[in-house]
Amino acid sequence: MQDAQLITLKKWFTDFVRGFYTADDDFINRHVQLKECHTHRVCNEMRQLTAALKMGNNDTLIAETIALLHDVGRFPQIQVYRTYKDEDSENHCLLALKVLAEHDVLADLPDDERVIIETAIEFHGAKDLPTLVERTMHFAKLIRDADKIDIFDLLIKYFHQMMTDPENFGQEVIEYSTSPECNSEIIDALRNQKLIHYEQIKTINDAKLMQLGWVYDIYFDWSLKQIHDRGYLQAIIDLLPQTDELRQVTDCILEYTKQRAFRIH
């Protein structure tokens, strides 16, 4: 892949997204902007991650292309269904593949690079990664990490807004009960370093615990170090009920994160 090809793809992305803004629908405009800005931040996280891993220029370009295009399915999703919840619309990862195919976005790339990009995008939001060939798996892990790093920051801001300005907070992105309870199944899963599935989430506190549990689904130590050093975990912990049961779970999460993060020198 060449630098000029990524430049062309960036222009395509800008033009594509511009077509979803409207003159009179603030809901759509807010949500389009949300995902457009998220995409640019994920691209930045990806550049930092690939630099930390000392990846070559060609692979770096492939990785940033994946970051650039990973959420293109979100734009038709919000336009058609007015939600970002896949269960109430369509799988946004598969929608992204439809967009790429309809617009022949990757037509100028070699077949092997196109397959890597499409596969990484297809599975970036999956519960678990399937068995993939080693090279493709590497890129699939990259986008899942870069995506999660930004979503950590994004969701923390939403959690804070819910607490500080609940009357003006619209549950358009986070659609869970504000009840203080925590699902015992989620707590048990975290004790055993298992991932939380979305269908287990009933309350906002469940969502916070699920986000903390993402540390067990982070592939690269560098990524985990960013999450730790930026204070994302402690910020979420501070927003949870301060019970002994939760403190034991969160202490284990912090210890696991520190052990991996401090392997980076």
Q: What is the DSSP string of 192-251?
A: TT-PPPGGG--BHHHHHHHHHHGGGG---HHHHHHHHHTTHHHHHHTTS---HHHHHHHH
Share of the chain above pLDDT 90, in %: 79
Q: Which residue's structure tokens are 């549950």?
A: 171
Average pLDDT over residues 20-38: 97
pLDDT at 101: 98
Looking at residue 169, what is its pLDDT?
55
> For residue 6, how many other CB atoms are within 10 A of its CB?
17
- pLDDT at position 163 is 73
Domain spans in the chain, listed from the N-terminal domain onward: 3-144, 176-261
3-state secondary structure 157-176: HHHHHHHHCHHHCCCCCCCC
Amino acid 189: pLDDT: 92
User: Which pLDDT score is estimated for 261?
Assistant: 86
Cα–Cα distance, 239 to 256 (Å, whole number): 20
Does the pLDDT value for residue 171 go beyond 60? no
Please tell me the pTM assigned to this model.
Answer: 0.92
Could you tell me the pLDDT band of residue 264, with boundaries at 50, 70 and 90?
Answer: low
CA distance 257 to 254: 5
Of 241 and 32, more confident: 32
Phi, psi dihedral angles at 24 (to 5 degrees): -145, 20
State mean pLDDT over 16-39: 97
**CB-CB contact of 73 with 92 (8 Å):** yes
**pLDDT class of 112 with cuts at 50, 70, 90:** very high
Q: Is a pLDDT exceeding 70 seen at residue 125?
A: yes
Contact 166, 149 (CB under 8 A): no
Residue with tokens 């979420």: 236
Closest CA to 155 of 73, 84, 74, 50: 84
Residues 182 and 69: their CA atoms lie apart, in Å, by 35
pLDDT at 167 over 70: no
Higher pLDDT, 99 or 168: 99
pLDDT of residue 159: 84
pLDDT digits (tens, 9 = 90+) for 78-95: 999 999 989 899 999 999
Which amino acid would we find at residue 228? H
Lowest mean pLDDT among 3-7, 101-105, 170-174: 170-174
Looking at the structure, give the CATH architecture of the domain made up of residues 3-144: Orthogonal Bundle (1.10)
Minimal CA–CA distance to 127: which of 221, 200, 67, 235?
200
Average of pLDDT values for 149-177?
74
**pLDDT tens profile 187-230:** 999 999 988 888 888 888 999 999 999 999 999 999 999 999 99
Query: What average pLDDT does the structure give for the chain?
Result: 92
pLDDT bin (cut points 50, 70, 90) of residue 265 is low
Residue 178 confidence (pLDDT) above 90 = no
